[in-house]
Amino acid sequence: MPHLTTDKWIEAIKHKTEKVGGISIGEASERDLFYAICAIASEEMNKNWIDTQEKYRETECKQVYYLSMEFLVGRLLESNLLNSGMLNECNSALEAMGFDPEKVYSVEPDAGLGNGGLGRLAACFLESIASLKFPGHGCGIRYRYGLFEQRIIHGHQVELPDYWLKEDYPWETRKAEEAVDIHFGGDIHMFKKNDGTLEFKYENTDKVTAVPYDVPVVGYQNQVVNSLRLWSAESNSGSSDLLTSKSSQYFHHLDHKHSIEQISGFLYPDDSGYDGKILRLKQQYFLVSSSLKSIIRQFKKNGRHSLMHLPDRVVIQINDTHPSLAVPELMRILMDEERFGWDDAWEITTKTIAYTNHTTLSEALEKWPQDMVKSLLPRLHMIIYEINERFCRKVWEDHPELRDKIHELAIIADNQVHMARLAIVGSFSVNGVARLHTEILKKKEMSNFYTLFPERFNNKTNGITHRRWLLQVNPELSTLISDVIGPQWIQRPNHLISLLRYSNDVPFLERVSEVKLQNKARLAQFIHEKTGIVVDERSIFDVQIKRLHEYKRQLLNIFHVIHLYNELKDNPSLDITPRTFIFGAKAAPSYYFAKEVIKLINRMASIINNDTSIQGKLKVVFLENYNVSLAEKIIPATDISEQISTASKEASGTGNMKMMMNGALTVGTLDGANIEIRDLVGDRNIFIFGLTADEVHDYYQNGGYVARDIYHTDERVRRILDQLNEGAFGSQEIEFKDIFYHILYHNDPYFVLKDFDAYIETHELVEQAYRNQPKWMNMSMTNIAYSGKFSSDRTIQEYASEIWKLKRMD
């Protein structure tokens, strides 16, 4: 790539703003500069984008398509500049012109097309696929509204629509000529042809046009630019139709147009249960059908191969069950449009599709009412019905030992379509996202399927792109690392292990510690600007940032805070290292309990932060609207990473990896990827506490846990619960009573009280460790050194060689 020097950047920016934007550089705002730089960067990237796609076409290489309802990409300008090797020069140019690069980059809206870990994982994967030179693309939906914007008003969460597309989005290219038609509903007619085969015709369907918008995915300094294809739903009744129609028709048209555009209207917040949300089912089919049509069109472009060879050239990874209609839809296309018989179509389908599971929480396993599937997708319903019939018959015949389990295996049972079962039966690979999670799938949640298809199950422990989550967000630490071990870690993150040699190098550790302090000071400044709260950058920054869910146990964290506050009130001269507890979390709009927890955190923040009697030893900060950009500010400043889910509930976690990579120490349960972090760094370099997954499972199975017993025996717990019950923190007595009742009357289903004692004790160890800074810095460096394993480069390498069978393009 021809490199622009700083001077050339200055020239190009001036040219763009003056000649193209019509604004003199002296008058230009940060927004003007942002658009100018995007345009310049795009020009540089576009040639590589075209060349990459041409190369894929010419070499007819196998390509992966990552189908996902969510891609949480965040902002792209800085990472695109970084990956195309232009960031430093662009920064210098901006500074020379008197601009703050950070302010210019923050003009970009966060593309918040995801809820949390699952969506961010998809974005990290795309970055690694491109950086490792694998041919692969994302397929998703171009929601006009991303996940809601969260405001905290009087301590309550308030949701505002996130209209992220209100201004031009500079990274997308509309490809109207590649639009495809998607059909919903209608009547199915079946004909028997002379040769005895069946033909299906559809009539009176509702037609929706799917228009792709492509976003470039730039590999790290390697000339590769892959695509993220986001589909937008449009009605193709043009404005001329509207002009000529009678007024009644006119309104009918508008209504129709609106209902079609709603399909890509907004992203559903998770944790809310999609039961009965027909629009969500429409979105899923819309994604799957448009993506498959575009994949097949691409495959056919050189016209030399039969679709029998599809699995040699295409692999489709479905991100959770949300795109699992890919199974019946590919069958439909192959049979009804391409004239394959059932057996061939089934062989092609099940050799092409692979499925990743991201949760074992039963509330989160997708099921659709059979009637809804039947009326919205009548032909797919027939196919799913047939898949189920054949599958159940085979189990009955070949596996007598599972005959009494057919009800738990059937894809259609109790008038519901079970999407995970459909995904397992219709794919050649089923993977979990961390070792423990995969074991739970095999031994517990999906054990019957594991008996049937042991060869399909495999583990792919998640990862994060270290280029965004270390190199980009923590440039000062990255420079220090490269100073001592060289820059190879950027291409080969496992090289970070060489840092172990410096884990006792005091001058080096002091420099690292200085960088952490600067990052904390920057975050403190941000906190002050946003909330007015003054925090001490020398206090321990104890951070929990993730979606708000009972299983993630933000409640346990705030109970610890309340406990410390109680202790300080009893004994104001208590000698504790000052702490700043930082929270960021969105709750699903309809999730009452999660919102109560947000209220409690905010209430404790206002009580504690304003209580001068504790001399600033504790601060509590809830940062509103947690998203990718906010994570980028918090993570480099974190000392303690809270990963405290009830064991067995968090499939993997990825925030744990991001914080470890930035030198934070984990306080965590033996859950998800925490276990693999512990295995690497060793017990001495992590703070593990609480029940194990087996213990949790045993309590669920056999009982034996009585939350009330802890309430009665542990004074600290009783005091906190009574405070909640008696309105000690409420403006009215009844406030927070529900938390008290919820815990005691539902027998504390997430074991908050059970793990409380161990959690408090662990935090005492944290405190002691922090007092010994050389020791702490040694632990911190050990964590950074081992974090290379959690680069998504490693994860993608495993997917590529073990599932996708892809070759790198070099």
Name the phi and psi angles at 387, rounded to 5.
-60, -45
Name the phi and psi angles at 358, rounded to 5.
-120, 5
Determine which residue in the list 343, 363, 683, 715 makes contact with ligand 26V, applying CB under 6 A: 363
Q: Closest distance between ligand 26V and the C-beta of residue 322, in Å? A: 9
What does DSSP assign to residue 647? T
How would DSSP label each residue in 153-193? ETTEEEEEEE-TTSS--TT-EE-GGG-EEEEES-EEEEEE-
Q: Does 657 bind ligand 26V (CB under 6 A)?
A: no
Whole-angstrom distance, CA of residue 226 vs CA of residue 652: 27
> What is the footprint of ligand 26V within residues 494-523 (CB under 6 A)?
none
Whole-angstrom distance, CA of residue 569 vs CA of residue 604: 14
Cβ closest to ligand 26V, residue 14 vs residue 697:
697
Q: Alpha carbon 78 to chain centroid distance?
A: 20
Q: Does 666 bind ligand 26V (CB under 6 A)?
A: no
Helical ranges in 26-154 per DSSP H: 30-59, 77-83, 87-96, 101-105, 117-131
Whole-angstrom distance, CA of residue 369 vs CA of residue 414: 9
Q: Closest distance between ligand 26V and the C-beta of residue 324, in Å? A: 13
Active site residue 175: no
Q: Closest distance between ligand 26V and the C-beta of residue 326, in Å? A: 17
Q: Which stretch binds ligand 26V (CB under 6 A): 267-275, 405-413, 632-640, 697-705?
A: 267-275
Whole-angstrom distance, CA of residue 632 vs CA of residue 2: 29
Q: Does 270 bind ligand 26V (CB under 6 A)?
A: yes
Q: Closest distance between ligand 26V and the C-beta of residue 769, in Å? A: 27
Choice among 120, 658, 742, 763 that is catalytic = 658
Choice among 321, 654, 762, 782 that is catalytic = 654
Q: Closest distance between ligand 26V and the C-beta of residue 462, in Å? A: 5
Burial letters 192-211, b for 16+ CB under 10 A, else e? eeeeeeeebeeeebeebbbb
Choice among 546, 579, 586, 619 that is catalytic = 546
399-400-404 Cα angle (round to 5): 105
Binding mask 378-417 for ligand 26V (x = CB under 6 A): ----------------------------------------
Determine which residue in the list 298, 646, 652, 783 makes contact with ligand 26V, applying CB under 6 A: 652
In this structure, how many other beta carbons lie within 10 angstroms of the beta carbon of residue 522? 15
Choice among 358, 418, 421, 516 that is catalytic = 358
Cβ closest to ligand 26V, residue 416 vs residue 652:
652
**In the numeric block, which tokens belong to residue 227?**
């695509």
Q: Does 671 bind ligand 26V (CB under 6 A)?
A: no
Q: Does 672 bind ligand 26V (CB under 6 A)?
A: yes
Determine which residue in the list 462, 519, 557, 625 makes contact with ligand 26V, applying CB under 6 A: 462
Q: Does 271 bind ligand 26V (CB under 6 A)?
A: yes
Which residues are registered as beta bridge partners of 620? 581
**In the numeric block, which tokens belong to residue 289?**
């059908």
Choice among 547, 553, 763, 789 that is catalytic = 547
Determine which residue in the list 211, 411, 558, 651 makes contact with ligand 26V, applying CB under 6 A: 651
Whole-angstrom distance, CA of residue 648 vs CA of residue 751: 12
Contact 67, 139 (CB under 8 A): yes
Query: Measuring CA to CA, how many Å separate 646 from each of 651, 694, 803?
Result: 11, 11, 30
Q: Closest distance between ligand 26V and the C-beta of residue 459, in Å? A: 12
Contact 619, 580 (CB under 8 A): yes
Minimal CB distance residue for ligand 26V: 117
Cβ closest to ligand 26V, residue 123 vs residue 383:
123
Q: Closest distance between ligand 26V and the C-beta of residue 267, in Å? A: 13
Q: Closest distance between ligand 26V and the C-beta of residue 748, in Å? A: 18
Active site residue 552: yes
Q: Closest distance between ligand 26V and the C-beta of residue 592, in Å? A: 13
Determine which residue in the list 44, 149, 162, 320 makes contact with ligand 26V, applying CB under 6 A: 320
Active site residue 358: yes
Contact 440, 432 (CB under 8 A): yes
Name the phi and psi angles at 425, rounded to 5.
-65, -35
Q: Closest distance between ligand 26V and the C-beta of residue 786, in Å? A: 19
How would DSSP label each residue in 644-681? -PPTTS-S--SHHHHHHHTTPEEEE-S-TTHHHHHHHH
Q: Does 358 bind ligand 26V (CB under 6 A)?
A: yes
Q: Does 361 bind ligand 26V (CB under 6 A)?
A: yes
Radius of gyration of the chain, Cα coordinates, nearest whole angstrom = 27
Active site residue 547: yes
Pairing relationship of beta strands 665-668 and 640-643 according to DSSP bridges: parallel
Amino acid at 338: E
Q: Does 162 bind ligand 26V (CB under 6 A)?
A: no
Q: Name the residue among 278, 265, 295, 66 with its Cα closest to residue 180.
A: 295
Q: Does 319 bind ligand 26V (CB under 6 A)?
A: no
Q: Does 433 bind ligand 26V (CB under 6 A)?
A: yes
Cβ closest to ligand 26V, residue 83 vs residue 461:
461
> What is the footprint of ligand 26V within residues 519-538 (CB under 6 A)?
none
Active site residue 47: no
Q: Is 250 helix (H, G, I), strand (E, B) or coil?
A: helix
Q: Closest distance between ligand 26V and the C-beta of residue 437, in Å? A: 8
Choice among 516, 552, 553, 560 that is catalytic = 552
**In the numeric block, which tokens belong to residue 154?**
């009087």
Number of residues that bind ligand 26V (CB under 6 A): 22
Cβ closest to ligand 26V, residue 137 vs residue 549:
549
Q: Does 195 bind ligand 26V (CB under 6 A)?
A: no
Active site residue 466: no
> What is the footprint of ligand 26V within residues 61-120 (CB under 6 A)?
116-118
Q: Does 438 bind ligand 26V (CB under 6 A)?
A: no
Whole-angstrom distance, CA of residue 219 vs CA of residue 794: 15
Whole-angstrom distance, CA of residue 635 vs CA of residue 657: 10
Whole-angstrom distance, CA of residue 390 vs CA of residue 185: 25
**In the numeric block, which tokens belong to residue 528?**
């002050």
Burial letters 375-388, b for 16+ CB under 10 A, else e? ebbbbbbbbbbebb
Q: Does 587 bind ligand 26V (CB under 6 A)?
A: no
Q: Closest distance between ligand 26V and the C-beta of residue 271, in Å? A: 4
Contact 257, 35 (CB under 8 A): no
Q: Closest distance between ligand 26V and the C-beta of residue 588, in Å? A: 8
Q: Does 360 bind ligand 26V (CB under 6 A)?
A: no
Cβ closest to ligand 26V, residue 135 vs residue 269:
269
Cα Dmax for the chain = 93
Q: Which stretch binds ligand 26V (CB under 6 A): 162-170, 356-364, 468-476, 679-687?
A: 356-364
Cβ closest to ligand 26V, residue 210 vs residue 688:
688
Q: Does 121 bind ligand 26V (CB under 6 A)?
A: yes
Q: Does 654 bind ligand 26V (CB under 6 A)?
A: yes
Q: Does 359 bind ligand 26V (CB under 6 A)?
A: yes
Q: Is 526 exposed, middle or buried (0-12, 13-18, 19+ CB in 10 A)?
A: middle
Whole-angstrom distance, CA of residue 510 vs CA of residue 773: 9
Determine which residue in the list 43, 50, 252, 273 makes contact with ligand 26V, applying CB under 6 A: 273
Pairing relationship of beta strands 198-203 and 71-74 according to DSSP bridges: unpaired
**In the numeric block, which tokens belong to residue 248?**
């009644």
Query: Measuring CA to CA, how many Å separate 22 from each of 32, 203, 660?
Result: 10, 53, 46
Q: Which residues bind ligand 26V (CB under 6 A)?
A: 116-118, 121, 270-271, 273, 320, 358-359, 361, 363-364, 433, 462, 549, 650-654, 672
Active site residues: 358, 546-547, 552, 654, 658
